Amino acid sequence: MGSITKPTRCSPLLTSIGENETMSARSPAHRQGRPARLLSAVFQPIGDEGRASLVERRIADAIRGGVLHAGEKLPSEQDLAQAFGVAPATVREALMSLRSRKLVVTRRGRGGGSFVADSADPMAFTTEALLATTRVSLRDAATHYLAITRACVELAARRADPSEVELIRARVHRAHGGDLRMWRRIVDDAVIELAALSQSARLTREQMRLQAELSPFFALIDQDEAEQRRRLEAMDSILNAVAEADASRAGNLVADAVAHDVTWLIDHRAELEAQ
Amino acid sequence: MTMHAPPATGSPSTIVADYFGQAIDELESWKAKFSDDLAAARARGPVTTDTLDALVAPYALSTFDALDLPVYGSGFIAALNSLADASSHLAWWQGADRARLVLAAQSVSKEAIDYSELEWYRVPHQTGEAHVAGPYVDYLCSDEYTITIASPIFLDREFVGVAGLDLLIDQVERDLTPRLAPHGSDISIVNGVGRVLLSTSPHRETGDSIRGAELASLTRTACPGMALEVVSG
C-alpha cells in the first residue's frame, strides 16, 4: 500500500508551466476542424519527444510533485537506465538537462552521484503551478476529480465489506499527526484503496492518475494543520457512509470535500496574486 | 456454443475447487524446492533483493507454462523486514512478456511498500495456509481486476514470505463460465465476504456483494480447500 501512487505518472497541471505538450499534440484533423472526433483520436500523433526528454520529464515531475525530495540521492545512471528501460547515455542526457534546470546537482568523488537539488521545494513548485493555472482549468480538474471519485465511492458503498473500510480508516488515523509528506502519502493511498473497493479496474486506474496529478495541490492545503484535521474528519464521514452502504450520502460528502478543496485553492491563488 | 470448453465434470463446487486447486498445488510444489534454495542462501549470508530475484525467477517463470490456467503474474513476496537491503520486496514477473515488476517506489525512492494488510499477504501469513484472495482491483501489480492465489513460506517456523500467482478475472470468466453454465443459469462463485467472483446469472455482476439475509436464503456449497462458495439462486 506504500507507494501506490506509482510516482512516475505525469502530472499535467504541474508540467503546464512552460511545457505545453497537450497543446502541441493536436492532430492535423483537429486543427482543420473535422468532426470525426473518435477517428482523429486514433490518429493522434504518438509524440516525437525524445526518450531523454521523457526520462527528464518523469524525474522533473517527481521532484516538483515532491515524490523525490530535496537532497535525496538518485539511483546510479545504470540503475536508472534499467528502471526506465533506456540506454545509460539517454539517462546521462536527461540528467544533464535536469542539472541545467537546477533540479539536480551532481557531486564527484566518494559518496558522489546525482542528488535532488537542496533548493527543490515541492511547495514552491506547486505554488508556482497554481499561479500559472487558470481558475477555469482548476475548476475543470476538480470537476473531473469529483466525477471519478464520486463514482468510485458510490460503487464502493454498494460493494465493500465493512471490514475492508475499517482497514483504510485505521491506517489514515495512524498517519494523522505525522509529518506532511507521510500524511499525504497515506491519504493518497487511502483514496486509491477506497476507489479500488468499487471493484472497477478502469475507475481505479483513473483515480490513481488523478491522485498523482492533484496530490501536490492537496499538500499545499494540508500544510495548514486545521485543514489536515478537516480532511481526516471528511475522510471519516465518507468511510462511515461507505461502511453503512449509503451510496448517495458518500457521494455527497465527496462533493463537499472537493468543493472545499477547490475553493481553498482558488482563494489561495487570489491571495498570492494580490501579493 | 461451448465447443472448446472442457467437459463439465463433477459438481460446480468441484469444478471451482479443481480449477483454483491446480494453482495451489503448483505453488506448494515449487515452494518446497524454493524453500531449500532460500535456506541455503540465508546460510551463506544476508539475502538481498538481487539474490532473492535470482532465486525466485526460475520458479516464477516456469509457473506460467506449468498450468492449464491463464497465469498473469507469478513470484514471491518477501516478508516485511526480512531482507538485508530493503524492508519490502516483490520478486514478481507479469504480463504477456513476463517482465519483472519494477515498482518506482522500490527501485527509485526505495520507499517501503506496506503490503501487510493486503489479503494475499495477510491471510496466508495468519493462517499458515494457501489462500485464494480476491477478486480485487490490484493497484500494486497488474492494475486489473484480479484473483491472487498465495501460499506462505516458513523456514524453521519463521515466516519469510508468500509464493503467489495472479489470474485476471477476465480470463477466469472465459474459463469457468462455460464449465458452470450447464449446471444452471443461477450459479455464482462468491468469496469469504460474499463478493461475486463470477456468475452464470444475468442478474448478478462480478464485484457485487451478496450479504446477510439474501446470502442466508441461498443454497451454498463450500469449495474444498479454499474460502470460496458456490451459491445457486
pLDDT digits (tens, 9 = 90+) for B54-83: 999 999 999 999 888 999 999 999 999 999
C-alpha distances in angstroms, B79 versus A141, B59, B61?
Answer: 39, 18, 21
Write out chain A residues lying below 8 Å of B137, CB-based.
Answer: 195-196, 198-201, 204
- Amino acid B105: pLDDT: 61
B-contacting residues in A 201-220 (Cβ below 8 Å): 201, 204-205, 208
For chain A, what are the domain ranges? Answer: 12-120, 133-274
Q: What are the contacts of B117-120 at 24+ separation with CB within 8 A?
A: B117/A1, B117/A167, B117/A171, B118/A1, B119/B148, B120/B77, B120/B148, B120/B150, B120/B162, B120/B164
Q: Where would I find the H helices in B2-134?
A: 12-44, 49-66, 104-107, 119-127
Closest CA relative to residue B16, chosen from B206, B232, B225: B225
Residue A18: pLDDT band with limits 50, 70, 90: very low
Task: Report pLDDT digits (tens) over B168-196.
Answer: 999 999 999 999 999 999 999 999 999 99
Decide if A12-120 and A133-274 have a common fold.
no
Has residue B218 got a pLDDT over 90? yes
Residue B25: pLDDT band with limits 50, 70, 90: very high
Q: Whole-number mean pLDDT of chain B? A: 91
Write out chain B residues lying below 8 Å of A164, CB-based.
Answer: 193
What is the C-alpha end-to-end distance of chain A, expressed in Å?
Answer: 40
Peptide bond into A45 cis (omega under 30): no
Q: Top-level CATH class of A12-120?
A: mainly alpha
Interface test with A, best of B53, B136, B137 (most A CBs within 10 A): B137
**Could you give the CA distance from residue A217 to residue A149 in angstroms, rounded to a whole number?**
16
Has residue B34 got a pLDDT over 70? yes
Query: CB B195 to CB A3 under 8 A?
Result: no
Residue B226: pLDDT band with limits 50, 70, 90: very high
Query: CB B108 to CB A208 under 8 A?
Result: no
Percent of chain B residues past pLDDT 70, beyond the cut: 92
Cβ B226 vs Cβ B120: under 8 Å: no
Write out chain A residues lying below 8 Å of B113, CB-based.
Answer: 1-3
Q: Which residue has the cell 442478474?
A: B203
Beta strand ranges found along chain B (DSSP E):
71-78, 90-94, 99-100, 131-137, 145-155, 158-168, 187-191, 196-199, 219-222, 228-232
User: Nearest by CB to A7, which of B105, B140, B208?
Assistant: B105
Helix (H) or strand (E) holding B176: helix B169-180
User: Nearest 5 degrees, angle CA A224-CA A273-CA A56?
Assistant: 75
A68 touches chain B (CB under 8 A): yes
Interface test with B, best of A159, A184, A186 (most B CBs within 10 A): A159
Q: Where would I find the H helices in chain A?
A: 12-15, 21-24, 28-31, 37-42, 51-64, 77-84, 88-100, 122-132, 135-159, 162-175, 180-196, 201-222, 225-243, 247-274
Q: Which fold has domain A133-274?
A: Four Helix Bundle (Hemerythrin (Met), subunit A) (1.20.120)
CATH number for the domain whose boundaries are B12-169? 3.30.450
Task: Report pLDDT digits (tens) over A171-211.
Answer: 899 888 888 988 998 999 999 999 999 999 999 999 999 99
For chain B, what are the domain ranges? Answer: 12-169, 171-232
Window from A8-12, A63-67, A141-145, B135-139 with minimum mean pLDDT? A8-12
User: Nearest by CB to A161, which of B107, B111, B209?
Assistant: B209
Task: Report pLDDT digits (tens) over A203-218.
Answer: 999 999 999 889 999 9
Q: Where would I find the H helices in B45-101?
A: 49-66
Give residue B191's Cα distance to chain centre: 13
This complex has an ipTM of 0.90
